[in-house]
Structure 1
């Protein structure tokens, strides 16, 4: 079954995912997420976040993305992800795990971050509209009242053979989908990469 077929079918049945959970040979591990909320109130508190630049370099990312965009990323069509805010100076080679939001609600793949650029909003549209797969009206609404934004350039996308559903992520890692993005540790990486075996 192809990824697209699996997604249309609702990512298998609950019984199937329970079996996958029993078969996976991962130990339970405590998984801590530092959530960055995509709202103005949290933005005021960002400076108080206790994470150094070195800490950022040790983390891959989990991004919550609408299904229509998430599927295009793992298929290799969508070359960039646009964000209102993102850690500046993110190390090249970090991995972006792609959590497709409702109705899919699963990690469906990942891609490597080649670079992250902060640009004026109009330059983002001029330079990347052809690979961002977003309509102009949606773009304008997303960046409303902002003068700049971030472009996450992606390469080497991978669609995992068995999308990892939210139920399993919660059970094994205590995962809650981030509103914007979260940092992933080894437990998360092992669970997602294990689905490729």
Structure 2
């Protein structure tokens, strides 16, 4: 099972060059069978650029998440704290094996009526988001 996440281009680059090993989320998908994240790089890129395996998922208070993940957060503490402001809990998706597509995919060619998700959406196995 795969999900598609919308990620800002600057963070996408850090994921694929190994500087960002955690993707932070305020809420998480309920299906824990998900093993792969398909990466949609938001505008101005607007393409599905690759995928990564989920190594593990950490749930904790923002302070504890930062303490455990800051070395490979790919963001600074100010950005992190702003993102989780007012939250008692958050998630850090630990990034495993990454695969950057040689040819980024226009999502409108794969998904009918594609709109970039605010958070995520599930990708069916037959939806052809593979290289």
- Which of residues 108, 118, 129 is equivalent to 1:179? 118
Structure 2 gap ranges (5+): none
Corresponding residue for 1:170?
A: 108
- Bigger Rg over Cα: 1
Corresponding residue for 1:137?
A: 78
TM-score by length of 2: 0.91
Q: Normalized per residue, which structure has more strand? A: 2
How many pairs align?
Answer: 130
Structure 1 gap ranges (5+): 1-58
Change (3 A) 1:97 1:157: same
Question: Which aligned segments of 4 or more residues in structure 1 are displaced greater than 6 angstroms?
Answer: none
TM-score by length of 1: 0.62
- CA RMSD across the alignment: 1.6
Q: Normalized per residue, which structure has more helix? A: 1
User: Does structure 2 retain, via aligned residues, the 8 Å contact 1:143–1:149?
Assistant: yes
Q: Greater relative contact order: 1 or 2 (C-alpha under 8 angstroms, separation 6 or more)?
A: 2
- Which of residues 92, 115, 124 is equivalent to 1:151? 92
